[in-house]
Structure 1
Amino acid sequence: MESQAISNLAHFINDDFANTVEHIYNSKGRVIITGIGKSAIIATKIVATMNSTGTPAIFMHAADAIHGDLGLILEDDVVICISKSGNTPEIKVLVPLIKNAKNKMIAITGNPDSFLGQQADYVLNTFVEKEACPNNLAPTTSTTAQLVMGDALAVCLLELRGFSSKDFAKYHPGGALGKKLYLRVSDLADANQKPAVKPDTTIKDIIIEISEKMLGVTAVVENDTIVGIITDGDLRRMLKKTDNFSGFRAKDIMGLNPKRIDYDAMAVDAKEDMEAHGISQLLVERNGKYAGIVHLHDLIKEGII
C-alpha cells in the first residue's frame, strides 16, 4: 500500500514543486520545517537530509512555535509546513503568524483544499487513499509520502547546487560513509610495514621478510621499482613442487606484473580493484616507486568493507 502511494506521488510533481525548488535554491535564508505529531518527526529527517546535502535547514515544532519559537524564523527564511490534514488546531494558529511575517510558505499536505493548502504559497500534494494501518488511523502511508516528497526536494536542490561527493565528505567525516569519501590509499599504506626483497634474495630471507612484516606478501624491488610480487601462496606452491629450494631466488618464484594502485588513490578504489581481480592486497606506487602495500584487512578494519 505504501509502495503504491509513493508511485502515485509522481503525478503530483507540478509547477508548485518546481517553483518550490527554485525559490529555496535562490533564497538567501534557511529552510524552516515545521509540523506536529508524526509529521514533526518526518520534518526532522527532512531537515537532516537538507543540512547534509548543502541546504541549511532548521526544525521548528509547530506547538513550540506558537509559544516562542517563532523567533527562529528570519526575514529571508522559507517555511515548510507538514500536515496530512492541513487542518490541525496548531497549524491553524501557526499559519497566519507565518503569513504576517511575509515569509514564503510551502505546504506538504495530503489535502490541498485544507486551511494550510489554501494559505500556502506553494502546495506539495502528498495525498494517500488510505493508511497502511488496518484501522486507517495510525500515520503510516501518509508519513512515508511526506518523507519521499522531502527527499525529492533535497535531491533536486542537491543537483542544482552541483553538490559533489567531495562536498558530501565535508558534512560526513565520521563513520564508514565518510571514510569512503575521504580515506586514501596513502593513509592505509603508511600505517603498514613495507616488505621488500631484491630479485636475488634467497627463499629463507623471503620467508623471514614476509613473516616479520605480517602482510602475507612482499614486493620484489629493484632500484625502488616494483618488478614482481611474492605471496605466501607462491611459497606454498613452490614447496609442493620441490624439496630442494636452496638455489631458488626471488626472481625464480615471483609473480610478474602485480596489481598496483597509486599512493594518492581513494581507499574505495583499492576495494574495487581487489574485488575485480579476486585478490587481497595491492602494491602501492608513488611517482613510479614502490611505496608500500594496502591489504584487504586494512579496508575491513576501516569499515570500507
Structure 2
Amino acid sequence: MSEIKSILSIAKRTLEIESKAVANLISLLDDQFAHAVQYILESEGRVIVSGVGKSAIVASKIVATLNSTGTPAIFMHAADAIHGDLGTIQQNDVVICLSQSGNTPEIKALLPLIKVGKHKLIGITGNMDSVLAKQADFVLNTYVEKEACPNNLAPTTSTSAQMSMGDALAISLLELKGFSSSDFAKYHPGGALGKKLYLRVADIVVKNQKPQVDINSDIKEVIVEISEKMLGVTAVMDKDKVVGIVTDGDIRRMLSKYDNINGLTARDIMTSNPKTIDVDTLAVKALKLLQEKSISQLLAFDGDTYAGVVHIHNLINEGIL
C-alpha cells in the first residue's frame, strides 16, 4: 500500500509541476506571439518547424497540429538540415526553431543559414538570453522554473511548455482563418472522428435495402418484408406516402395480443407518425435522435420522398457510436 501511495505521489507531483509551468506561459505571452501569428497568417509559404532531441519530437507534433488545422507545415530536423536537408525551406516559408536552451549546437549552426535565405525566424525557447532568442525575428518564451525530473535533467516540463505554446499558435491561426468543423473534416476523412464530421444519413441508407409495404398488406407480407430487408422495420405506404411504420417489436406485441392473426393488415398494427430524419443530416445527429427516443431505426426522407432506413447498427458499424 505504501508503494502505491508513493507512486501516486510522484505522479501528482509531476503533473502539478508541469501544470503550473504551462499556466505560467499565460503571463509570458506578449506582442511577439501576436506578431508571429500575424506573419504566418499573411505568409504565402509554409511553416517549417525544426529542433533536435526531444524538441524535434515536439516539433513533429506541432507540424501535425498545424497541418490538421489548415496551416501547411513541414518538419525539418535541425541536424539533417545542416547536412543536406536545408532545401526543405522554400521561398516565402516561415521557420520555427525549438530549443529550450536556445544554444543547441545544431540550432546555432542552422540560424545563419536561415538568415542567408532571408526567411523570418520564430524562436520557441525558455532562455531569452540565448543565441536563438537574440537572432529570431519573433521569440515565444517557454521559460520553466524546473523540469519534473528530480534531477532537473530529463526534458519534461520544458517539452510540455513547448507543446502548449505550439497548440496556442495553431489554435490562434485556426480561429483567425475561420477554420470550421467542415474544413476539419476535409483533413480528417478517416476514422470515427472524420465520420462524425462528414458522414450523412444519405451515405448510410444507400447501403441498406428499402423496406416498405402497402397499408392493406396482410400480416404475412409485413413479416416477410421485415425479415428479408433485415432492418427490423418496414415503412407502411398509402400510395406514395408513408403513413406509418411496423417494427419487429410491433410484430411481437401483435402475437401476444391476438390469438388469430388471419385478416390483420399493416394498418391494424402500424405506428402512425414515425420518427423521421432528412438524408442530408449528419449521421452523428441521427445517433443522438435514436438515443434520445430510445429507438433503433429512423425513416429517412429526401424532401417528401421516402429514401430508406437508418439503423443504429449502421452507426455502430461505421464507428460513430
Task: Give a deviation string over 1:214-247, Cα, whole Å, max 9, x none.
Answer: 1111111122222111111111122222222223
2:89 equivalent to 1:73 = yes
The answer for the alignment partner of 2:77 in structure 1 is: 61
Distance apart, 1:16 and its partner CA: 0.8
Once residues 264 and 54 of structure 1 are traced to their aligned partners in structure 2, the CA distance between those partners, rounded to angstroms, is 25
Task: Give a deviation string over 1:233-268, Cα, whole Å, max 9, x none.
Answer: 111122222222223221222112111111222222
**Alignment partner of 1:275 out of 276, 287, 291:** 291
Task: Give a deviation string over 1:156-179, Cα, whole Å, max 9, x none.
Answer: 111111112222222222222222
2:27 equivalent to 1:11 = yes
User: What are the ranges of 5 or more consecutive residues in structure 1 without an aligned counterpart?
Assistant: none
Output the TM-score relative to the length of structure 2: 0.91
Once residues 267 and 36 of structure 2 are traced to their aligned partners in structure 1, the CA distance between those partners, rounded to angstroms, is 67
2:205 equivalent to 1:180 = no
Distance apart, 1:31 and its partner CA: 0.7
Once residues 83 and 44 of structure 2 are traced to their aligned partners in structure 1, the CA distance between those partners, rounded to angstroms, is 26
Paired residue secondary structure (2:95): strand
Matches within 5 A, 1:110-125: 110-125=126-141
Once residues 181 and 145 of structure 2 are traced to their aligned partners in structure 1, the CA distance between those partners, rounded to angstroms, is 38
Once residues 26 and 49 of structure 1 are traced to their aligned partners in structure 2, the CA distance between those partners, rounded to angstroms, is 19
The answer for the alignment partner of 1:260 in structure 2 is: 276
**Alignment partner of 2:315 out of 291, 296, 299:** 299
Paired residue secondary structure (2:74): strand
Partners of 2:244 and 2:272 within 8 A in 1: yes
Paired residue secondary structure (1:191): coil
Once residues 278 and 148 of structure 1 are traced to their aligned partners in structure 2, the CA distance between those partners, rounded to angstroms, is 41
Query: Identity of paired residues, percent?
Result: 66
Task: Give a deviation string over 1:102-152, Cα, whole Å, max 9, x none.
Answer: 211111111122111111111111112222223222111211111111111
Once residues 189 and 60 of structure 1 are traced to their aligned partners in structure 2, the CA distance between those partners, rounded to angstroms, is 45
Between 60-69 and 260-269, report the one with greater CA deviation. 260-269
Partners of 2:236 and 2:243 within 8 A in 1: yes
The answer for the alignment partner of 2:53 in structure 1 is: 37
Matches within 5 A, 1:192-207: 192-207=208-223
Output the TM-score relative to the length of structure 1: 0.95
Distance apart, 1:193 and its partner CA: 0.8
User: What are the ranges of 5 or more consecutive residues in structure 2 without an aligned counterpart?
Assistant: 1-16
Paired residue secondary structure (1:206): helix
Paired residue secondary structure (2:98): strand
Once residues 140 and 237 of structure 1 are traced to their aligned partners in structure 2, the CA distance between those partners, rounded to angstroms, is 62
Matches within 5 A, 1:232-243: 232-243=248-259
Partners of 1:221 and 1:290 within 8 A in 2: no
- Residues 130 and 224 (structure 1), Cα distance of their counterparts in 2 relative to 1, 3 Å cut: farther
Distance apart, 1:275 and its partner CA: 1.9
The answer for the alignment partner of 1:104 in structure 2 is: 120
Q: What code does the residue aligned with 1:102 have? A: K
Distance apart, 1:279 and its partner CA: 1.5
Distance apart, 1:4 and its partner CA: 2.1
2:187 equivalent to 1:171 = yes
Number of aligned positions between the proteins = 305
Once residues 279 and 9 of structure 1 are traced to their aligned partners in structure 2, the CA distance between those partners, rounded to angstroms, is 48
Paired residue secondary structure (2:20): helix
Once residues 62 and 240 of structure 2 are traced to their aligned partners in structure 1, the CA distance between those partners, rounded to angstroms, is 53
